[in-house]
Structure 1
Amino acid sequence: MNLKRIFGALLTALGIGGLIYTAVLFAGTSGDMTDVKSLIIYGVLGIIFFVSGISLVRTTKDES
C-alpha cells in the first residue's frame, strides 16, 4: 500500500472523528460563546481533514 494512501486514510479518519466530536459537543451545548467557538473550530478542522484525506486517497494511483 502506498504511503500517501495510508496518510489519506489517516486524515479521513481524523476528519470523521472531528466531525463526530463536533456533533457530540453540539448535542450537549448550552449556547455559551465558548461552546460556539469550540464547535466552529472542531467542525472546520474536521471538514478540512476529511476533505483533504478523501482527495488524497482518490488522486493517488495504485502502483502494484
Structure 2
Amino acid sequence: MNVKRIFGTLLTVLGIAGLVYAGASFVDNSVGKADIKAIILGGILGAVFFFAGVRLLATTKDEV
C-alpha cells in the first residue's frame, strides 16, 4: 500500500469535485456576487488539487 498513491488519488478526486462544483455553479442562472466568489474559489482550488494529485501520481514510482 503506497501512501503517496492514495494521497494523489484523493487530491485528484477532490480536484474533480471542486471543478464540477464550480462548473455547476457557473451554469446556474441565479448568480449573485457571493456566488461569483464561490465559483472562482472552487475553480482555483479544484484546479490546484487536481493538478497536484495528477502530478503526484505521475511522479510516484511503483515499489516491488
The answer, yes or no, to whether TM exceeds 0.5 is: yes
Task: Write the letter of the residue equivalent to 2:58.
Answer: R
- Residue matched to 2:10: 10
1:1-64 correspondence to structure 2 within 5 Å: 1-64=1-64
Which blocks of at least 5 consecutive residues in structure 1 are unaligned?
A: none
Q: CA deviation at 1:35?
A: 1.4
Q: Distance in 2 between matches of 1:32 and 1:9?
A: 33
Quote the offset at 1:30 in angstroms: 3.0
* Aligned residues with identical type, % of pairs: 52
> Separation in 2 of the partners of 1:25 and 1:2?
35
- Taking structure 2 as the reference length, the TM-score comes to 0.92
Unaligned runs of 5+ in 2: none
Q: How many residues align?
A: 64
